[in-house]
Amino acid sequence: MKEQLEAIQVEALEKIAGTDEIKTLQEVRVAYLGKKGSLTGVLKGMGKLSKEERPVIGEIANKVRDAITAALDEKNEKLEQKALEKQLEAEAIDVTLPGKPVNQGGPHLLTSIVEEIEDLFTGMGYEVREGPEVETDYFNFEALNLPKDHPARDMQDTFYITNELLMRTHTSPVQARTMQEYQGGKSFKMICPGKVYRRDNDDATHSHQFTQIEGLYVDKNVRMSDLKGTLDVFAKKMFGEDREIRLRPSFFPFTEPSVEMDISCKVCKGAGCSVCKGTGWIEILGGGMVHPRVLEMAGYDPKEYSGFAFGMGPERIAMLKYGVNDIRAFYTNDKRFLKQYHQA
């Protein structure tokens, strides 16, 4: 039996060495180590051996099995590596070839305008604040000096969820929330960008949904001249250093006095044309000094503190700056329109 085991080992190692395919190697494994394999058949005859011979033959059989197994594993590893190298060679990619072009998007024009305005005002010390689009009647109207029976509410008719919850009509509630947060104990500068909603008929210059950026500065001894200086810097940075501004008296419930700001027409340089309707000026935003009543409701003493506020629409600014003639173009997702302003 010892000679049989040694012969099986020699024969198995020769076949393993001569095998060049993984499938054939598995067949060799089964032929020698399987249930009906050569080595298994010899081991079944160990029951006929004497007690003295069994340990000796058993030790030899284990060495033979270990030698065949080790040779099989080593050969299998080499064949797998060879197969992998062959596959990689067959599937090789020429990385020097030019790749397929990938269409790249860009920021929406309104996003670019909002970010440009944010950068401008943060550079002047303003912080950017956001608030909920679903707002309470109190913060959207009452905290801004618009009680429930105030006729000025008609100009900001909106979408109501309940009698006390609505889609905000402006970002001014963020200003009211900020002032109430500080309870009259802190000076601050802030702007609040975001979407707003009004029940309006959509056309070339109106939309039921649009974006708005409002600013607020509260401190001691804030004057109208501070507001004018701030807006003058804004106009020149956004539309060009040669732009002039003018302030016209207006009315807003939350500011007193209130103004509308116009910029000089960039087309006619103030001479009058169809763009500015012959006036030489184009309306751009509204603002004014914060109403004393609004300061009081937020916990500020109007005898000690004052402030100014302003509000603008990024859509209108984009339309004037880039010559867009229909506000609906910002929201119809026409890629032909959007691609024009990726580098704006």
Backbone angles phi, psi at 60, to 5 degrees: -60, -45
Q: 79 and 21 in contact (C-beta within 8 Å)?
A: yes
> Which residues make up each annotated binding site?
256
Work out whether strand 188-197 and strand 127-128 pair parallel, antiparallel, or are unpaired: parallel
The angle at the Cα of 328, spanning 327 to 334, to the nearest 5 degrees, equals: 120
Distance CA 315, CA 321 (A): 10
Distance CA 156, CA 198 (A): 6
> Which residues make up each annotated binding site for Mg(2+)?
256
The angle at the Cα of 252, spanning 113 to 321, to the nearest 5 degrees, equals: 20
Residue entry with tokens 């104990």 = 185
Distance CA 330, CA 188 (A): 33
Length of the chain: 344
The SS3 assignment for 256 reads: strand
Task: Give me the DSSP letters along 33-77.
Answer: HSTTSHHHHHHGGGGGS-TTHHHHHHHHHHHHHHHHHHHHHHHHH
Q: 19 and 28 in contact (C-beta within 8 Å)?
A: yes
Tokens of 21: 């395919």
Separation in Å, CA 209 to CA 200, 262, 315, 338 = 9, 24, 11, 19
The SS3 assignment for 173 reads: helix
Which one-letter DSSP state was computed for residue 18?
T
CA dihedral 95→99→102→107, nearest 10 degrees, is 60
